[in-house]
Copies of this chain bind each other. A is one copy, B any other.
Amino acid sequence: MQSGIDMARVNYGSAIREAFVYLLDRYPKVFVIGQGLWAKWYVGNSMTDLDKFYGTERIMDSPVSELACTGAAVGASLCGYRPIVVHPRMDFMLYAMDAIVNQAAKWSHMVGGQAHPAVTIRGIINRGGEQGAQHSQALHAWFAHIPGLRVVMPATPQDARDLLIASVLCDDPVLYLDDRWLYELEEDLPPVVECPLEQEGSRVVSRGDDVTLVGAGYSAWLCREAAAALQQRSISAEVIDLRVLNPLDVSTVIQSVEKTGRLCVVDGSWSSCGLAGEVIARVSETLSPRKLLGAPVRITLPDAPAPTSGFLEKLYYPTLDTIMETVARLVIREGVHAKAVD
């Protein structure tokens, strides 16, 4: 670390809170609307006491009306505000799809680029804990399917903070999707430097030669952990954190797979028409098949809604072990030291 830069250790949840503080302090047009903003338990530690500091006019807890609240934020954004809508679970957003997909995503295009809904829609992925099928979904692939939306999925405390700031300062509608399973993750953060969201994309977060591991959000974290553990087995994995899912930039993935010849994509949601398949498709359509030492692999949820019983939950979610076994099989199947041909 360079000296002279103030680093502060924060976790993912409080890094999100820091982004709110940063934005609310500096940008009077920023306000927040959503459910649970005046409660202590809805959004973990990611917004603690913001209502006390910034007032209930800027931190607006709301009736149970996901559609109108989201639509209202879209409308306010058309009047120069930069609202952040908070959905404490992505599952609740199914009520708000019209505002997000029919209105926000299409508004700029429909009106000839003359107005832009600069709204940020924060959807929290909040799985596990025996919450069951309606309180566990991660629907990022849906939003990544829709042109006009930007979708970010931070995997680290720094990204949790900086991508939220970038999302809110972006003139387009952005889905900011954070994951409760990451809230305890700690990191030393430098001071904020604003960066335009359009310039953010996927990033190599650890270097390796044998296999390319790709994920976003919590899955990117799993990939990093897996890479560290694979090191012990003498498998050198390169890890790529996608960070921005729409527009999706896979250039880093392609470069990496060109080098490693092997691809494993991890995603904590469903497989079919999902994010992992998209990454595999992009790599497959871009690279000559000869560059690949083996068929790419994805690790996703089984084709089932989330169960409640903790016993079944353990079988349901991808774990470090799943990834390590899969990667080991992928690498060993084709021999660690095979090299791609041109």
Contacts of A304 in B (CB 8 A): 109, 147-148
* Closest chain B CB from A94 CB (angstroms): 4
List chain B residues, Cβ under 8 A from A291. 289
Q: Which residue of B lies closest to A284 (CB)?
A: B284
B144 to A273, Cβ gap below 8 A? yes
Besides the contacts A142-B273, A144-B272, what 20 more A-B pairs have beta carbons closer than 8 Å? A97-B97, A102-B133, A102-B134, A109-B307, A110-B305, A144-B273, A147-B272, A247-B272, A247-B303, A248-B272, A273-B275, A277-B277, A277-B278, A277-B281, A280-B280, A280-B284, A281-B284, A285-B295, A289-B290, A289-B295
Cα A52 to Cα B100 with chains together (Å): 39
Instruction: Please report which residues of chain A, range 112-137, place their CB below 8 angstroms from some CB of chain B when the two chains form the complex.
Output: 132-134
Q: Is A272 touching B280 in the complex (CB atoms < 8 A)?
A: no
State the copy count for this chain. 2
A279 and chain B: residue at smallest CB distance = B281
The answer to whether A109 and B133 touch (CB under 8 A), given A273-B142, A303-B247, is yes
Cβ < 8 Å to B, chain A residues 297-317? 297-298, 302-305, 307
* Chain B positions within 8 Å of A132 at CB level: 110
Per-residue B-contact encoding for A264-280, CB less than 8 Å = 1, 0 else: 00000010111111101
> Are A94 and B105 in touch, CB under 8 angstroms?
no
Residues of B within 8 A of A276 (CB): 281
**Cβ-closest 7 pairs across A and B:** A277-B281, A289-B289, A289-B292, A280-B281, A106-B133, A284-B284, A147-B303
A277 to B274, CA, bound (A): 9
Q: Is B102 touching A91 in the complex (CB atoms < 8 A)?
A: yes
The answer to whether B148 touches A145, judged by C-beta atoms less than 8 angstroms apart, is: no
| C-alpha gap A280/B272 in the complex (Å) | 11
Point out the residues of chain B lying under 8 angstroms from A165, CB to CB. Answer: none
A332 to chain B, nearest CB (A): 16
- Is the Cβ of B273 less than 8 Å from the Cβ of A277? yes
Beta-carbon nearest neighbor of A286 in chain B: B295
Write out the residue numbers on chain B whose beta carbons fall within 8 Å of the beta carbon of A305: 105-106, 109-110, 147-148
Q: How far is the CB of A69 from chain B (nearest CB, A)?
A: 15
Whole-angstrom distance from the CB of A267 to the nearest CB of chain B? 10
Alpha-carbon separation in the docked complex, A110 to B309 (Å)? 11
A141 within 8 A of partner (CB): yes
| Interface: A288 (CB within 8 A) | yes
